[in-house]
Amino acid sequence: MFLYGTNGAGKSAIGEVIQGVSGGDEKFSHCLMHTSNNAAYRVLVYNQRFVDKVIRTAEGVPGIFTIGALDAEAQAEIEGKKVEAEALEAQLEAVKKKIEQSIEADEKIQEAAITGAWKAHSDFNEPPFRDLLSGWHSDRKKFFEQLDKYAVADDVELDGLDRLQERLADATSTETAQGKVSVDLSGLAVIESNPIWAERIVVSSASRLAPLIEKWGNSDWVGQGRDIPHGNDCPFCQQKLPEKFAEDLAKLLDGDRQARVDQVKLLAERYEATVGQIKVSVAQTFKHTFAQKDAALSQAWELLLARLKANSALMKSKVDKPAEPCEVAASDIEPMRDAIDAINKRVTEFNARIANRAAEKGRVRMMLWQLMRRERAPVYDAYKASKAPLVEALTAERAEKTAIEKSLGDITERLKELGQLQTGVGAAVEKINARLTGMGVTSYSIAKKGESHLYCLSRPGQAEGSMASLSEGEKTLISFLYFLERLTGSDEADAGPVDLGRTIAVIDDPISSLSHNFVFDIASLIQEELIKPPEGVPQLRQVIVLTHNLFFLHEMLRQTVGPELANQDKRCQLLRVVKSDHTKVVPMRASEMMNDYQALWQVLRDARDSNMPAIMVPNAMRCILEHFFWFTHQEGKFKEALKRVAAADASFTPLGKV
- Amino acid in the structure at residue 243: E
- For the stretch 455-466, pLDDT in tens is 666 777 665 545
Provide mean pLDDT across the span 358-385.
90
For residues 621 and 657, give the distance between their C-alpha atoms in angstroms, rounded to a whole number.
12
Is the pLDDT assigned to residue 338 strictly greater than 90?
yes
Q: What is the pLDDT of residue 70?
A: 47
Q: Which residues contact 311 (CB under 8 A, 6 or more apart)?
A: 192, 271, 328, 329, 331
- For the stretch 259-289, pLDDT in tens is 788 888 899 999 999 999 999 999 999 988 8
Q: What is the pTM of this model?
A: 0.45
Nearest to 545 by CA among 9, 2, 50, 6: 2
| Torsion angles phi and psi, residue 589, rounded to 5 | -100, 145
Q: What is the percent of the chain with per-residue pLDDT over 90, rounded to a whole number?
A: 27
Q: What is the percent of the chain with per-residue pLDDT over 70, rounded to a whole number?
A: 73
Which helix (H) or strand (E) segment is 111 a member of? helix 72-124
Q: What is the DSSP letter of 462?
A: B
- DSSP conformation letters of 386-422: HHHHHHHHHHHHHHHHHHHHHHHHHHHHHHHHHHTTS
For residues 353 and 363, give the distance between their C-alpha atoms in angstroms, rounded to a whole number.
10
Is the pLDDT assigned to residue 211 strictly greater than 60?
no
For residues 176 and 256, give the distance between their C-alpha atoms in angstroms, rounded to a whole number.
59
pLDDT band at 434; cut points 50, 70, 90:
confident
User: CA–CA distance from 500 to each of 256, 455, 540, 543 (Å)?
Assistant: 135, 24, 5, 11
Provide mean pLDDT across the span 564-590.
77
pLDDT band at 52; cut points 50, 70, 90:
confident
Of 128-142, 463-477, 577-591, minimum mean pLDDT range: 463-477
Provide mean pLDDT across the span 531-542.
88
Q: How many CA atoms lie within 13 A of 105 on its CB side?
A: 14
Q: What is the pLDDT of residue 150?
A: 93
For residues 444 and 467, give the distance between their C-alpha atoms in angstroms, rounded to a whole number.
11
- DSSP conformation letters of 188-241: HHHHHT-GGGGS-----TTSTTHHHHHHHT-HHHHHHHHTS--TTB-TTT-PBP
pLDDT band at 651; cut points 50, 70, 90:
low
Q: Please state the length of the chain.
A: 658
Q: What is the pLDDT of residue 460?
A: 76
Q: Which residues contact 438 (CB under 8 A, 6 or more apart)?
A: none
Is the pLDDT assigned to residue 195 strictly greater than 80?
yes
Question: Do 252 and 210 form a contact (C-beta atoms < 8 A)?
Answer: yes
Provide mean pLDDT across the span 575-586.
80
Is the pLDDT assigned to residue 41 strictly greater than 60?
yes
For residues 425 and 453, give the distance between their C-alpha atoms in angstroms, rounded to a whole number.
8
Higher pLDDT, 353 or 386: 386
Q: In what order do the strands lie in the sheet with 542-547?
A: 42-46, 503-508, 542-547, 2-4, 574-579, 583-587
Question: Do 511 and 552 form a contact (C-beta atoms < 8 A)?
Answer: yes
Is the pLDDT assigned to residue 28 strictly greater than 60?
yes
For residue 24, the tally of other CB atoms under 10 A from its CB is: 8
Is the pLDDT assigned to residue 167 strictly greater than 90?
no
- DSSP conformation letters of 437-458: HHTT--S-EEEE-TTSSBEEEE
Provide mean pLDDT across the span 112-127.
90
pLDDT band at 520; cut points 50, 70, 90:
confident
Q: What is the DSSP letter of 468?
A: G
Question: Do 416 and 495 form a contact (C-beta atoms < 8 A)?
Answer: yes
Is the pLDDT assigned to residue 310 strictly greater than 90?
yes
Provide mean pLDDT across the span 309-317.
91
For residues 285 and 8, give the distance between their C-alpha atoms in angstroms, rounded to a whole number.
94
Provide mean pLDDT across the span 502-507.
93
Is the pLDDT assigned to residue 80 strictly greater than 70?
yes
CATH 3.40.50.300 assigned to 2-68+427-592: yes
Higher pLDDT, 122 or 358: 122
User: CA–CA distance from 589 to each of 3, 572, 586 (Å)?
Assistant: 11, 11, 10
Higher pLDDT, 369 or 360: 369
Is the pLDDT assigned to residue 343 strictly greater than 70?
yes
- Amino acid in the structure at residue 554: H
Structural domain spans, the chain: 2-68+427-592, 102-179+333-402, 186-200+268-332, 205-254
Q: What is the pLDDT of residue 414?
A: 87
Is the pLDDT assigned to residue 427 strictly greater than 70?
no
pLDDT band at 420; cut points 50, 70, 90:
low
For residues 508 and 459, give the distance between their C-alpha atoms in angstroms, rounded to a whole number.
28
Burial of 413 (0-12, 13-18, 19+ CB in 10 A): exposed
Average pLDDT, the chain: 79
Q: What is the pLDDT of residue 636?
A: 62
Is the pLDDT assigned to residue 472 strictly greater than 50?
yes
Q: What is the pLDDT of residue 648?
A: 75
Q: What is the pLDDT of residue 69?
A: 40
Nearest to 195 by CA among 333, 331, 327, 317: 327
Q: What is the pLDDT of residue 512?
A: 82
Is the pLDDT assigned to residue 301 strictly greater than 80?
yes
pLDDT band at 308; cut points 50, 70, 90:
very high
3-class secondary-structure state, position 106 = helix
